[in-house]
Amino acid sequence: MSDERHAGGEQDGKGAFRRDRQELWRRLIEHASEAGPPEEWEGIGRRDFMKLVGASVALAGCSREPVGKLLPYTVRPVGVTPGVPDHFATAMAIDGRAVGLIVESHEGRPTKIEGNPAHPASLGAAGVFEQAAVLQLYDPSRAGALRMRGRDASWESFCAAFSQPRTDGGEGLRFLLPPDT
């Protein structure tokens, strides 16, 4: 994470959270390496520790399963039947070319990417990058919101900024895109 993003993320929630988490880890590791085990652990040797862990694991196997929770929709999206996956046709760009894909989605959560059999180039085949692309959708560092000058911004502000005709004739406007055919 660059210093610039540190400075920019001063007030936004997500950046601050990420920074706090890193700081917390750093402090935890420092503390653990400097302080050693806490005082209450004095006199508990390695073997005693293993015995305690073993006993608690053995006992844990005897207990009941914890009660699970069922969280139904409040308002079910049209066309969704819980338990029945939806399949969406989509495409992703690899080496500048669009590859037709079908994504399996469970209640709005994509789980599997396969090729689209109707796509003339792939005929339903999907390579490692297409298959692995599903992980990108859950990448914690994936952009979760618009950013403007280093800060989270809303779609409303985006629309406000771009809905009016520009008076400068598009001077300084740049689009950053991956290579494309």
Partner 1 sequence: MPALFPRWSDTAFRIGLGAVAVSLLVLVVGPMIYVRTPYITGQFFAFDQPVQFDHRHHVQDDGIDCRFCHDGVDKGKRAGVPPTERCMGCHAQVWRSSVMLEPLRRSFYSGQPISWNRVHQLPDFVYFDHSIHVAKGVGCASCHGRVDEMAVVYQSAPLTMGWCLACHRSPEANLRPRAEITNMEWRQTDPAQGRELAREYDVRPPTNCTGCHR
Q: Classify the C-alpha dihedral 27-33-37-39 as positive or negative.
A: negative
- Residue 112 beta carbon to partner 1: minimum distance, rounded to whole angstroms: 15
Find out whether 121 and 95 touch, Cβ atoms under 8 Å: no
Compute the distance between CA of residue 21 and CA of residue 35 in angstroms, rounded to an integer: 21
- Residue 54 beta carbon to partner 1: minimum distance, rounded to whole angstroms: 16
Find out whether 128 and 143 touch, Cβ atoms under 8 Å: no
Find out whether 162 and 148 touch, Cβ atoms under 8 Å: no
- Residue 152 beta carbon to partner 1: minimum distance, rounded to whole angstroms: 22
Beta carbon nearer to partner 1, 85 or 150: 85
Find out whether 102 and 89 touch, Cβ atoms under 8 Å: yes
Compute the distance between CA of residue 155 and CA of residue 158 in angstroms, rounded to an integer: 5
Residues that bind partner 1 (CB under 8 A): 62, 64-65, 67-76, 81-84
- Residue 105 beta carbon to partner 1: minimum distance, rounded to whole angstroms: 14
Beta carbon nearer to partner 1, 105 or 122: 105
- Residue 106 beta carbon to partner 1: minimum distance, rounded to whole angstroms: 10
Beta carbon nearer to partner 1, 12 or 107: 107
Burial class (CB in 10 A: 0-12, 13-18, 19+), 113: buried
